Amino acid sequence: MSPVVMVIGAGPAGLATSRELTRAGVEHVVFERGEHAGETWANLYDSLVLHTARRLSALPGLAFPPSTPLFPGRNDFVQYLHRYAETFRVPISTETEVTALRRTNGAWTATTQTGQVISAPFAVVATGIVSNPVQPEIPNRREYSGRVMHSVDYRRPGGFAGQRILVVGVGNSAGEISAELAHAGAAVTVAVRSGATVVPRDVAGVPIQYLAVPLSHLPKPLQAFMAATIGRLSELVRGPAVLPRPAGTGCRQVPLIGFHLPDAIRSGAIRLQRGVEAFTADGVRFAGGITESFETVILATGYRAALGLLGSAVHTDACGFAMRHGLVASADDPSLFFVGHNYDLRGGLLNIGRDARLAVRQIVARRLTAAKA
């Protein structure tokens, strides 16, 4: 195997990159740790529905079938990814987990879990974030007798009915999972440390993303202001906010999309608590000293860019993403690229198409420059 480009990951970012490389006539291979394209998406919770509209969630070159809902569900999206891989004959090496990616002797060398070593002049990291869940170190975790799990391991509400469940976090996964569990008969409490801006998924049937795309061209402070304004207008219609305002972290914060969680809090179906300070033998202690018992604690505490395979080969920013030039090119090495690592108001899937084209355009340009040298 002697590809020009190695693409790490066969999720939407890796598949889109492969399609663009094929169009440009660049030999490449896509490494996927799972059995199929889109393996990560296939293992997310059953009820997941995209927050982005069908038309703006499609990857380059292939639309969703007309019968797909306006907001595709998880199964819709997984089937779409499989069809995308087949349509563009993506050269996927499945069950091939890249454990290390290093620059040696003028090329990128990938080492797999079986010890296989493959080299190529260029590498594209399309590993996304979901394979690297954040699990905060909460004191006394070993003393807790209940179950602790990350939201990435949650599948469905079956088996949780009647349980006292604490969901830690207030992102979109936290909102959807907690509302689903409450509806299924669990006694759900949500622990909120930094708050969230809540925006509607659609207005009168029109996806809010259609407004977000043009807003994405505005300066970031103005984007944040507009998102907050939309949230406040929603409050005028639905009532006062029940979640605290988000604390500024310097990292881009995706709004809580949809009102399933705020509505459940207003109705009393879900209780709200402050951030967790420590575990106890049968539950947790919240900020302020209140203690409560829970059978299960779900850490919906988000994800970080999955860059462990690179070791110290790249520098990262304060938010955990690799330092880059022009959205996709590594600031540490001009032959390394990142696709699927840009999240903003436009939606991660829409950005993937743009970033795949950018990365491949730069790879082709660098190859031409090297050929002339």
pLDDT digits (tens, 9 = 90+) for 329-360: 999 999 999 999 988 778 899 999 999 999 99
Cβ–Cβ under 8 Å, residues 306 and 131: yes
Q: Residue 274, Cβ neighbours under 10 Å: how many?
A: 14
Q: How far apart are CA 353 and CA 340, in angstroms?
A: 9
Q: Residue 321, Cβ neighbours under 10 Å: how many?
A: 19
19 pLDDT tier (thresholds 50, 70, 90): very high
Per-residue pLDDT, averaged over 2-6, amounts to 93
Cβ–Cβ under 8 Å, residues 111 and 280: no
In this structure, what token pair is assigned to residue 144?
């807790």
Kindly report, residue by residue over 190-217, the tens digit of the pLDDT. 999 888 888 888 877 888 788 777 777 7
Q: Which of 329, 323, 301, 13 is nearest to 132 (CA)?
A: 301
- What residues contact residue 132 under an 8 Å CB cut-off, 6+ apart? 303, 304, 305, 306, 307, 308
Kindly report, residue by residue over 61-93, the tens digit of the pLDDT. 999 999 999 999 999 999 999 999 999 999 999
Q: How far apart are CA 353 and CA 6, in angstroms?
A: 18
| Sheet architecture: strand order including 117-120 | 98-104, 107-112, 117-120
163 pLDDT tier (thresholds 50, 70, 90): very high
Kindly report, residue by residue over 266-294, the tens digit of the pLDDT. 999 999 999 999 999 999 999 999 999 99
Torsion of Cα atoms, 309 then 39 then 32 then 83, to 10° = -140
Q: Which of 82, 72, 84 is nearest to 209 (CA)?
A: 72
248 pLDDT tier (thresholds 50, 70, 90): low
Q: What percent of the chain has pLDDT over 90?
A: 76
Cβ–Cβ under 8 Å, residues 328 and 339: yes
**Lookup result for tokens 């990616």:** 101
pLDDT exceeds cutoff 80 at 57: yes
What are the chain's domains? Answer: 5-132+303-372 (3.50.50.60), 141-299 (3.50.50.60)
- What residues contact residue 309 under an 8 Å CB cut-off, 6+ apart? 8, 98, 99, 100, 101, 125, 127
pLDDT exceeds cutoff 70 at 231: no
